[in-house]
Structure 1
């Protein structure tokens, strides 16, 4: 398992949830066991909060956990309460986004569809700087630098850990000139360079493709190693995020992503379009 306390907590929570359901207990009964709110039980099962040894033991005893179940829970709990690397950048990662960064760090494959912008994992520093400035006028330079460092570390960890990255972008993402022609030209050059890496694939949906199943709805799919947790889909707004981990939802997002790839240009043709867009910035 990749070292990510968020992923470990999610796997731990998933295991506890499965034990609860198998025992025929609801979240209200689990909450009564720990003398806490149902909200806390849901947060434990979604991996949003750490758990204490006494809490885990009480739940396992009530759920009738076998020795094998108990060993698995104790194994998953190791490292689950540690701080994630992103927590050292205080204030730079919104609380609602921290869970995603932790899960992303543990993913074996990241599939993302973007409508208007180059995905954060592929942004140059200048491009990201321009975005942060445009969306947060007046933000202190120190906070901007912290956000840029988080983005850079996310990129470096992705490349170091060898996770597969599959990107589908609308043509709008490569045509929208963020930060001026020179910044955008540099960004397109990076996309062309990074596409040469074996674990990165980039496709562009041209304007000519018209409407499609995800028109206007960017999302990310995270697939984890078998021993970590089930796949999930992630969507976000300006101030919050949603995690879709019901199998039916994951299947819908997966099917949609497959359809997007089918209507998008091939990686080679996508590269040609990006190269054309870069050349037009020079004229």
Structure 2
């Protein structure tokens, strides 16, 4: 982690509430110039609204005290400053199920979809959707994040979440494999404009079902 660290700081104020591996993930994210993410389960932390973040953090498999939930949500929202301030180029591919099948209350999910559409309009953000029609490709890999730290978008680290924490890969063969996996997923995903159109259609359907 040390070789990538340029400006560690703000998250250390919350260190008592963070696992060391999560702190390392944030450090990588904070130093990155390019961030790419594949997410087949839920809306990514870098795009989550406060209500969505509260729901998914509180709804995890382990009990968390209310004060720790509040701190973790605060950290998750603070991470988004990297994207909001244009500090990195962020590209995310979401499986259509993330959008079409709410994990949280309907009103929270609808608010979240609106937020995704809004953030997707930023010049440094690209949101693409892998449609159901892509078939088994959605199971090609579990969620992962790749990071680049220079002017070129060469993958230099890959992070994956699991029940034991966050694992970081930096071996050349691992990086090449995940770079290739992302290219395959991106090629099969809808273009950004078509992805936004699909999200708007899902949002309309959810509103109609709720009425």
Q: Normalized against structure 1, the TM-score is what?
A: 0.68
Alignment of 1:95-106 (within 5 A): 95-106=20-31
Give 2:189's aligned residue.
264
In structure 2, the CA distance between the partners of 1:137 and 1:246, relative to structure 1 (3 Å rule), is: closer
Give 1:128's aligned residue.
53
The Cα of 1:141 is off from its aligned counterpart by: 1.9
In structure 2, the CA distance between the partners of 1:121 and 1:183, relative to structure 1 (3 Å rule), is: same
Match of 1:112 among 37, 41, 64: 37
Q: Deviations over 1:91-149 (max 9, x none)?
A: 33212211110011000000000011111100111111110111156522211111111
Give 1:37's aligned residue.
none
- The 2-side partners of 1:92 and 1:150 are apart by 10
Matched, 1:246 2:171: yes
Aligned-residue Cα RMSD (Å) equals 2.2
- The 1-side partners of 2:180 and 2:125 are apart by 20
- The 2-side partners of 1:136 and 1:250 are apart by 30
- The 1-side partners of 2:148 and 2:97 are apart by 27
Q: Secondary structure at the match of 1:99?
A: helix
Give 2:137's aligned residue.
212
Matched, 1:277 2:175: no
- Contact 2:33/2:151, CA 8 A, preserved across alignment: no
Higher strand share: 2
Q: Structure 1 stretches of 5 or more lacking a match?
A: 1-5, 12-46, 48-78
Q: Normalized against structure 2, the TM-score is what?
A: 0.90
